[in-house]
Structure 1
């Protein structure tokens, strides 16, 4: 095409795609390029602004490795990750929420009633619930991948003082569908601001804080995988999560339990003398 103009360049782009292009890829690319070209024309994008955007993406890519996922973080803070979650949500199950950039694959098995707190001098949190289907029946053999921040607000991949799988574990439910573990109360934290995303926050006048939360990835044969997180109802950042991850059904309450009431069946049973926190939160999966 010799006579490419700002009015026909989108159509020309589509005309360059081969006849054997995957139909779904064609649909996605046509919409993407149509909106991208329309955006550039709508804001009268300058060369300097285009160059700034390209450099921002290049620097984001340069920060990505096995432990730092700056592009995932960019998707999160733009609300794209949460939007994709909501588009693909199937009614009847627990809402999905952002995976975030700090999940580590291959966490070790954690027995039902196992402990993530270790030797830390921090209040005990007892978390438990049932993995169930939309009819309320427990699901046996479901895997529950659990991870959270340490009390210093850092995930293990951010903190050289922590072990690789600190505050990470995977439980497998029995016939009762139950997961249960002890840990420490997660804390609110700022997402990393030492890279391009930090510059984005500063330019937009935004804070980088997330409310405290527990992460879960739940999988079971015959069911759609669930990636989610749960948030306490008293967190200061509950209504201003910088990655838009909070959903109404993911808000839970910590129960302040008195001394002498810690139950049996946990790794810490018999060793918790004082008060502790407890949260009960069921996770509902939708059939595939």
Structure 2
């Protein structure tokens, strides 16, 4: 019996919400934020909303449609999806502006901690995949050029149909996910497949906004990665491929020139990419 892969907005949204609530401690991290900062941020966000209403003479019908939409986003469990697609890129730019090592970008809603350890070299495939085989070679270094022994490369990506394991039916739990731990030389070698562009789930509330605004829901092909090492800042990034139709109009606005790979086709039709990672020491 063949299981057909599928992913609806409601199912993906619910999974992303569950993961966020289980894996993050957002309120604990900001419990000591001064009240005057909360006051400033809340007032400025609300003032921007008020200014938009006044500038564009928003009607009660439009206001009530907004309320109904906000309620539906919550009911569909799509707040992680919506915020990660439309807001996170600005937060990431502010949070990492000081770094001298590799550039990062958004995490997105599909990260799952606890992926299997696969050594310094290994494969993320847990079934036969129809996509183009790809090998990513690299070295984890500090900003002074020193290889970082014990560094970890945590990767995840979609399959050849554009779906992520644990956020769609039909894939092994940890397919196309894995943690690669480097030795003294800082080197890693990851065997996977070339990812595919995909549309974010758009049959729910987020999709309703996309359709109403005349936008598209596409993300370019990318490999997600979190790179860490003792005494260094965590790098979260996505690596992209030249020539993708949506590199210049990514709905999540997460593409940066520094994250573009240089894939080299091999005689057997596979792809080799070489991309090193430089991490900033913690202060």
For Structure 1 versus Structure 2, the TM-score category normalised by the shorter chain is: 0.7 to 0.9
- CA distance in 1 between partners of 2:158 and 2:263 (Å): 17
Report the alpha carbon displacement of residue 121 of structure 1 after superposing the two structures with TM: 4.1
Identify the residue that residue 163 of structure 1 maps to in structure 2.
172
- CA distance in 1 between partners of 2:169 and 2:221 (Å): 21
Identify the residue that residue 101 of structure 1 maps to in structure 2.
109
Q: Are positions 1:134 and 2:143 aligned together? A: yes
- CA distance in 2 between partners of 1:53 and 1:221 (Å): 46
Q: Are positions 1:149 and 2:158 aligned together? A: yes
Q: 1:190 aligns with which of 199, 215, 220?
A: 199
Identify the residue that residue 25 of structure 1 maps to in structure 2.
38
> Aligned to 1:144, what secondary structure does the other structure show?
strand
Report the alpha carbon displacement of residue 193 of structure 1 after superposing the two structures with TM: 0.7
Identify the residue that residue 275 of structure 1 maps to in structure 2.
269
Q: Which moved more, 1:187-196 or 1:33-42?
A: 33-42
Identify the residue that residue 59 of structure 2 maps to in structure 1.
46
Identify the residue that residue 202 of structure 1 maps to in structure 2.
211
Identify the residue that residue 271 of structure 1 maps to in structure 2.
none
Contact between 2:140 and 2:187, CA under 8 Å: does it hold in 1? yes
Q: CA offsets per residue over residues 221-270 of structure 1, 9 Å max, x none?
A: 22221110000112222111111110010001211112xxxxxxxxxxxx
> Aligned to 2:81, what secondary structure does the other structure show?
helix
Contact between 1:143 and 1:220, CA under 8 Å: does it hold in 2? yes
TM norm structure 1: 0.80
Q: CA offsets per residue over residues 122-168 of structure 1, 9 Å max, x none?
A: 43211121111222222122222100001111111332110221111
Identify the residue that residue 8 of structure 1 maps to in structure 2.
none
- The CA RMSD measured in Å over matched residues stands at 1.9
- CA distance in 1 between partners of 2:101 and 2:54 (Å): 41
List gaps (5 residues or longer) in structure 1: 1-19, 65-69, 259-273
Q: CA offsets per residue over residues 33-81 of structure 1, 9 Å max, x none?
A: 33233333333332222221122122111222xxxxx223222443x21
- CA distance in 1 between partners of 2:230 and 2:142 (Å): 12
> Aligned to 1:157, what secondary structure does the other structure show?
coil
Greater CA radius of gyration, 1 or 2? 1
- CA distance in 2 between partners of 1:54 and 1:218 (Å): 40
- CA distance in 1 between partners of 2:100 and 2:55 (Å): 40
- CA distance in 2 between partners of 1:55 and 1:160 (Å): 30
Q: Which has the higher contact order (CA 8 A, sep 6+)?
A: 2
- CA distance in 1 between partners of 2:57 and 2:166 (Å): 41
**Which residues in structure 2 correspond to 1:75-94 (within 5 Å)?**
75-78=83-86, 80-89=87-96, 90-94=98-102
Report the alpha carbon displacement of residue 98 of structure 1 after superposing the two structures with TM: 1.5
Aligned CA distance change for structure 1 residues 235 and 30 (closer, same or farther; 3 Å): same
Q: Are positions 1:221 and 2:220 aligned together? A: no
- CA distance in 2 between partners of 1:147 and 1:21 (Å): 36
Q: Are positions 1:284 and 2:278 aligned together? A: yes
Contact between 1:76 and 1:244, CA under 8 Å: does it hold in 2? no
TM norm structure 2: 0.81
Contact between 2:238 and 2:259, CA under 8 Å: does it hold in 1? yes
Contact between 2:218 and 2:251, CA under 8 Å: does it hold in 1? yes
Report the alpha carbon displacement of residue 21 of structure 1 after superposing the two structures with TM: 5.6
